Amino acid sequence: MNALVPVFDWDQVVVQPWSTDAAFTAWIVLMGFLVASACGLVGNYLLLRRMALVGDAVSHSMLLGLVVVFLIFREVSTPVMFLAAAATGMLTVGVVEFIHRQSRVKPDAAICIAFTTFFALGVVLLSLAEVGGPVHIDAECVLYGEIALVALEPPLVLGGMELGPPSVLRMGGVLAGVVVLVVVFYKELLVSSFDAGLARSIGLRTGVWHYGLMAALSLVIVAAFEAVGAILAVAMLIVPPMAAAEMSERLPGRLAWTVGHAALSALLGFHLSVWLACSAAGAMVVAGAGLFVLACSVRWLIRKTGKVVSASVI
């Protein structure tokens, strides 16, 4: 039991990764940061809409969409995959809404029903398709979505310049897209998330924004998938915005804290994984959760001391 946690060695855990293997380390931390911040920015709006677990549902049912697309096209390119992801995400949300509008089943149960059914259907389809020919199964770490594989990808070369691992570039593109969307449609997203009634009354089409957000969510999830795996992508959707909500009451502040939290948890998580020799993606989530607990206690302390101060003033 005691051999499980190695002795903490500052030099080995913190110094060496940045001195001997700087590029490797940098790509992994960068990928972790990109995934966590892209997921976190979208997650802020999910949290405001009390839809945190819809991300969970969408990420699971993604399997069905990808399998169906694969069965139809046999060959899958980025745009097709993204399209399939967006379609599946919106289909899931649509089915959830259908179930709880058309019957007395509550939304939470409807979410569970929809995504587990889609997931099961995907698995069954996969196992039926598998009969066609044996598919090579790659490293076991893919099971958990191993972020360290990112650094091993052959870098994308464009015009003689080495740009970096393609999945990092893709994730960067998705993050850039999310940032642009958040900046351009800041007002619309803000109003429709905080007060759907007001949004409707000033002429916003809340349904469009709702489904647009779901499409963005699906794209972020599908891009984050290979790096961190389905459920850890959900963690990146929920944990950074929760920590940010502890730090700030206002949306711009929250968005900024989300990015900061993402960067910190990617960095801390990486070193945690080096220390404990465990999955980097899992460690990033654990680090993020730890930061959330820290944020909670800081807030609690501030409130406590604030009370003491105000009491002594009186």
Partner 1 sequence: MKRAFFFLLSFFLLISAAQAARISEVVEVSMLDQALRFFSFQDPSVRYALAGSLLLGLCCGLMGSFLVVRRLALMGDALSHAVLPGVALGFLWNMTKDPLAIFIGATASGLLGAGTVHVLRQTTKHKEDAALGFVLASFYGAGICLFTMIQNRPGGSKAGLDKFMFGQAAAMGPGDVLLLGGVTGACVLVLALLFKEFRLASFDPGFARAVGLPVRALQAGLMLLLAFAIVASLQAVGVVLVTAMLVIPAAAAYLLTDRLGTMLLLSAGFGMAAGGLGAFGSFVGRNLPTGPFMVLAASAVFVLALAFGPRHGITARWWRQRCRVARVRRENMLKAVYHVLEDADFSGDQAGVAALAARRRMAPREIQKLLEEVRDSGDVTLAGDNVAFTPQGWQRACEIVRNHRLWELYLTHAAQVAPDHVHDDAEAVEHLLGEETVRKLEKRLNYARRDPHGKLIPGLGDIAPGRPSGRATGFGGGGEGRP
Task: Supply φ then ψ for residue 164, to 5 degrees.
Answer: 130, 175
Residue among 72 and 109 whose Cβ is closer to partner 1: 109
Q: In this complex, which beta carbon is closest to partner 1, that of residue 120 or of residue 184?
A: 120
Smallest CA-to-CA distance from 48 within 194, 239, 233, 238 is with 194
What are 182's two structure tokens?
């958040």
Q: Does 25 bind partner 1 (CB under 8 A)?
A: no
Residue closer to partner 1 by CB (options 47, 86) is 47
How far apart CA 293 and CA 160 sit, in angstroms, is 46
- Single out the residue of 11, 20, 133, 135 in contact with partner 1 (rule: CB under 8 A): 135
In the complex, the smallest distance separating the C-beta of residue 223 from partner 1, rounded to whole angstroms, is 9
78 binds partner 1 (CB under 8 A): yes
314 lies in the binding site for partner 1 (CB under 8 A): no
Sites for partner 1 among residues 283-312 (CB under 8 A): 283-286, 288-289, 292, 296, 300
Member of 225, 258, 264, 268 binding partner 1 (CB under 8 A): 225
Q: What's the min distance (Å) between Cβ of 299 and partner 1?
A: 8
The residue assigned the tokens 């990420």 is: 59
Smallest CA-to-CA distance from 286 within 237, 236, 241, 248 is with 236
One of 83, 112, 204, 267 touching partner 1 (CB under 8 A): 112
**In terms of CB distance, is 108 or 195 closer to partner 1?**
108
Q: Which of residues 253-282 bind partner 1 (CB under 8 A)?
A: 273, 276-279, 281-282
C-beta of residue 40 within 8 angstroms of C-beta of residue 262: yes
Distance separating alpha carbons of residues 295 and 291, to the nearest angstrom = 6
How many CA atoms lie within 13 Å of 314's alpha carbon, on the beta-carbon side? 5
Neighbours of 88 (CB within 10 A): 25
Q: Give residues 55-74 in contact with partner 1 (rule: CB under 8 A).
A: 55-56, 60, 63, 66-67, 70
Residue 179 beta carbon to partner 1: minimum distance, rounded to whole angstroms:
22
User: Binding residue for partner 1 (CB under 8 A) from 35, 213, 237, 274?
Assistant: 237
Task: Please identify, using beta-carbon distances, which residue of 19 and 116 lies nearer to partner 1.
Answer: 116
What whole-number distance in Å separates Cα of residue 65 and Cα of residue 88? 5
Of positions 14, 52, 179, 190, contacts partner 1 by CB under 8 A: 52
Our finding on whether 158 is near partner 1 (CB under 8 A) is: no
Nearer to partner 1, 19 or 78 (CB): 78
Residues binding partner 1: what is the number (CB under 8 A)?
89
What span, in angstroms and rounded, lies between the C-alpha atoms of 178 and 99? 30
Please say which residue, 178 or 291, places its beta carbon nearer to partner 1. Answer: 291
Binds partner 1 by CB under 8 A, chosen from 111, 216, 217, 264: 111
Q: Which of residues 173-212 bind partner 1 (CB under 8 A)?
A: none
- We find the least distance from the C-beta atom of residue 131 to partner 1, in angstroms, to be 6
d(CA 230, CA 281): 11
110-119: long-range contacts (C-beta < 8 A, 24 or more apart)? 111/53, 111/54, 111/56, 111/57, 112/57, 114/57, 114/61, 115/56, 115/57, 115/58, 115/60, 115/61, 116/60, 118/60, 118/61, 118/63, 118/64, 118/88, 118/92, 119/60, 119/61, 119/63, 119/64
Quickly count: other Cβ atoms within 10 Å of residue 42's Cβ.
Answer: 27
Nearest to 32 by CA among 295, 293, 201, 282: 282
Considering only residues 80 through 109, tell me which ones interact with partner 1, judged by CB under 8 A.
81, 99, 102-106, 108-109
